[in-house]
Amino acid sequence: MSSGDNAHKRGETALKATHLVKRFKTGRSYIEVLKGVDFDAKHGDVTMVMGPSGSGKSTLVAALSGLLKPDEGKVSALEASDLWSLSNGKIDKFRLDHCGFIFQGFNLFPALSAKQQVMTALKYQGVGKGEQARRAQAALESVGLGARVNQRPSELSGGEKQRVAIARALAKNPNLIFADEPTSALDGENGQIVIRLLREAASVRGAAVICVTHDPRLEAYADRVIHIEDGRILDDVRRTPDADPAPFSH
Amino acid sequence: MSLALATLLYEWRRYMAAVVALAFSGLLVLAQVGIFVGIGKGFTAQIDRASADIMVLAPGAKALFSGPQGLPRRFIPLVYSHPEVTQVAPLDFSGGRFQNILTPEQQVKAQAAAKKGGKGGGPGGGTRKSEFVNLTVIDAIPGYVTVPTDYSPSMIEALRRPFAVAVDDTALKRLGVKKGDKALYNGKTVYVAVVTHGYPNIIQPMLVVSRDTLRMLGEADTGQRVGPLMVKISDPSRAEIVAAQLNKKGEGKFRAWTRQELADANASSMLDDQIIGIILGFSAFLGLLIGVIITWQTLRGAIMANIKEFASLRALGVSMGDLRNIVLELSFWVGIVGVLAAGLLTWVVSLVAAAGGVPMAFPPLLIVVVAIFLIVIAMLSGFLSLGVLKNSQPADLLR
């Protein structure tokens, strides 16, 4: 089970990857998308992975999070010393217990209300019905949607949908949160709300947040910014998040 | 509410094609069986509605018109000797050619129409009709064991007169007669004394006469053998017990059936018929094929439409097995809705058929079998659709 609050672990390494290589076949030739990437992320940090499209940043996140098996290299995450040596079922279980995902598309079921979306995710973790409802309500309130729990995605704005997706990811108290371009489909104001929520998840709960983006405005919220290009890490800068970042504008 | 059910209800338009396909598959089978059973009921309606609690048939008879029929006459007193039996009467059937008799005016009209080369008569129906009919008897005594319970005393009174026949209102046009008309039955003059309601038979018109009229027509069983026996007992609720006691008494020389037992056997005997069995088997197969293909493709499309959401569940760690269960649950609910839709559709069709004088009957067992059949179609389609879940690659969401 997820331990919920990991505030005490802040600063400890949550995720470490060494020499990740991933090739994709296009036609007859292979292209190497990751060319031996080393990566690590700590509890309580927002680690920003930035780079142009096609730089391999999404592939990196997929490999780190147990979604896409790298051709070479090793990922150790939390108690799993070699994630990719586990069976598929174990990897699913690992994600179920520890990982939250936020995608660019919100991927909410059109038939379900905001609360049901969150409850469905919890249901598969084996959470009881009453507890599901309680935690879903709390998660939605924490993203500022307390009043909209019974709305379906079609009745929500883009920003609200992304907040539901965040609530769905946060309700299970994950240790690792992967966000892929979480703000790129949103306007400035909503983008800011979303990144603040991710920032909070790291600072308050001690989760390791790994956020892929090419939005430079998000840098202000990061503890660490990694630039990646052509499957290689260009630079890795540790910084202090701005105390009061400038508001987004569009 | 589960994800599957919520999705089905919210996105019902997406699943409409599957539900409609299932409904029509169900209708295809139900309506045909309904018609065949209805046809069978047309032949036995008059007996089914008589007040007999027990019927005694020859041993080896599978239903009223299936297997050996007649019994030696001496069994009548044997059955009577049971203390609870109050009335015993043999059924008697006959059949022959029925012709209407035209008035001179109608004849002139018919000839004029024939000259013009037109088919059929003008309004008023003055054409010569000649049909083969089935004849069954009643004893023209109110409340007697052979008399259908919905016959009024005046109908029975009218049938008691010599050469009086009863015709159902659905057969009047076909026979070219109306109430009070004279007609020829096997060359002898009879007249339509009674018009019944609710005894349609789409294969052959049925005529009802009194036992005495049948004798006067020269067609009654007067020899050693008689038709099946209709038996009335003092306490109808004890029919099963008395039937069992009669069977013991008969020592295998006859078999006593309760009314319900025989009605069920009559309904299913129609389906035992080889040709009907082949027709039904084939249409059930067609229904299965069409149902599975359309339902499968619909489910596939609907799941593909939500594949990203499924993939996001995969990302959150929901196993493939759980996703399969969602799809199978969805198929199950589609099946349930399909069963309801098939029921509704069949009901409407049976109403239309009844209005057109085509009776349909649906034995409860048939309805259960068809319902299961439809759910099997839906589940089969669900299994076939599981393949699309392979497309729920959460890594694809990261592009």
Nearest-CA residue of chain A relative to B6?
Answer: A111
Given a cut of 80, whether residue A176 has pLDDT beyond it is: yes
Q: What is the nearest CA distance from A111 to chain B, expressed in angstroms?
A: 5
Q: What is the mean pLDDT of residues B49-69?
A: 84
**3-state DSSP call for residue A21?**
strand
The verdict on B3 touching A (C-beta cutoff 8 Å) is yes
CATH architecture of A7-73+85-109+157-238: 3-Layer(aba) Sandwich (3.40)
Whether B71 shows a pLDDT value over 50: the answer reads yes
What pLDDT does residue B121 have?
46
Count of CB atoms situated within 10 Å of the CB of B351: 11
What local confidence, expressed as pLDDT, does residue B119 receive? Answer: 54
Rounded to 5 degrees, φ, ψ at A11 are 95, -20
- Calpha distance B143→B138 (Å, rounded): 11
Give contacts of B318 with chain A, Cβ < 8 Å.
92, 96, 121, 124
Residue B271 has pLDDT above 80, yes or no: no
Name the residue ranges covered by the structural domains of chain B: 3-41+274-398, 49-99+131-272
In the three-class reduction of DSSP (H, G, I as helix; E, B as strand; rest coil), residue B21 is classed as: helix
Residues of B in contact with A180 (CB under 8 A): 397-398
pLDDT of B274 higher than 80 = no
**Residue B324 contacts A, CB cutoff 8 Å:** no
- The residue of chain B with its CA nearest to that of A177 is B316
Nearest residue of B to residue A211, measured between CA atoms: B398
Contact pairs from chain A to chain B, CB under 8 Å: 94
Strand, helix or coil at A13? strand
Contact A82, A75 (CB under 8 A): yes
**Chain B contact for A59 (CB, 8 A cutoff):** yes
Contacts of B315 in chain A (CB under 8 A): 65, 67, 95, 99, 101, 103
Q: How far is CA B169 from CA B57, B176, B346, B352, in A?
A: 30, 11, 25, 17
The nearest alpha carbon in chain A to B394 belongs to: A67
Amino acid making up residue B147 = V
Tally of CB atoms within 10 A around A16: 16
Chain B residues within 8 A of A94 when measuring between CB atoms: 317
User: What's the confidence (pLDDT) of residue B122?
Assistant: 47
The shortest CB-CB distance from A58 to any of B7, B318, B398 is to B398
Q: B274-305 and B12-48 helices cross at what angle (nearest 10)?
A: 160
Q: How far apart are CA B356 and CA B170, in angstroms?
A: 9
CB contact under 8 A, B398 and A168: no
CB A66 within 8 A of CB A83: yes
Q: State the DSSP string of A173-227.
A: --SEEEEESTTTTS-HHHHHHHHHHHHHHHHHH--EEEEEE--GGGGGG-SEEEE
Higher pLDDT, B379 or B107: B379
pLDDT number for residue B223? 82
Query: What pLDDT is attached to residue B158?
Result: 93
Q: Mark yes or no for CB contact B9/A120 under 8 Å.
A: no
Task: Look at residue A250 in the predicted model and tell me its pLDDT.
Answer: 56
**Tens digit of each residue's pLDDT (9 = 90 or more) over A60-90:** 888 888 888 888 888 888 887 788 888 888 8
Q: Percent of chain B beyond pLDDT 90?
A: 28
Is B318–A110 a contact, with Cβ atoms under 8 angstroms apart?
Answer: no
Q: Determine, for residues A101 and B313 on separate chains, whether the beta-carbon distance falls below 8 Å.
A: no
Nearest to B3 among A65, A67, A109 (CB): A109
Query: A237: which strand partners?
Result: A225
Structure tokens at B185: 């039955």
H/E stretch holding B207 reads strand B206-210
B-chain residue closest to A64, CA distance: B395
Within 8 A of A61 by CB-CB distance, chain B residues are 398
Residue type, A139: A
Residue ranges of B 301-320 with Cβ closer than 8 A to chain A: 306, 308-309, 311-320
Query: A66 versus B162: which is more confidently predicted?
Result: B162
Q: pLDDT class for B399, splitting at 50, 70, 90?
A: low
CB contact under 8 A, B3 and A120: yes
Helix, strand, or coil here: A228? Answer: strand
Which residue in A91, A107, A152, A181 has the most chain B C-beta atoms within 10 A of its own C-beta, making it the best mutation to test that interface?
Answer: A107
Decide: helix, strand or coil at residue B242.
helix
B394·A101 Cβ contact <8 A: yes
Q: Work out the average pLDDT over B254-273.
A: 82
B397–chain A Cβ distance below 8 A for any pair: yes
Residue B9 in contact with partner chain A when CB distance is under 8 A:
yes
Chain A residues close to B1, C-beta within 8 Å: 116
A84 contacts chain B (CB < 8 A): no
* Closest CB to B315 among A59, A101, A112: A101
pLDDT band at B313 (very low <50, low <70, confident <90, very high): confident
Q: Which is nearest to B369 in space by CA: B266, B271, B262?
A: B271
Q: Which of residues 249-278 of B touch A (CB under 8 A)?
A: none
| Per-residue pLDDT tens digits for A113-158 | 999 999 988 888 888 889 999 999 988 988 888 888 899 999 988 8
Q: Which residue of B has its CA nearest to A172?
A: B316
CA distance B399 to chain A (A): 6
Residues 190-209 of A with CB under 8 A from B: none
- The model carries a pTM of 0.76
Contacts of B6 in chain A (CB under 8 A): 109, 111-112, 116
Distance CA A35, CA B396 (A): 20
Burial of B30 (0-12, 13-18, 19+ CB in 10 A): buried
Compute the distance between CA of residue B7 and CA of residue A116 in angstroms, rounded to an integer: 12
Convert the pLDDT of each residue in A215-246 to its tens digit.
Answer: 888 888 888 999 988 888 888 888 887 777 77
Distance CA A162, CA A190 (A): 9
Query: What would the mean pLDDT of A53-62 be, rounded to a whole number?
Result: 85
A94 touches chain B (CB under 8 A): yes
Q: B321 vs chain A: nearest CA distance in angstroms?
A: 10
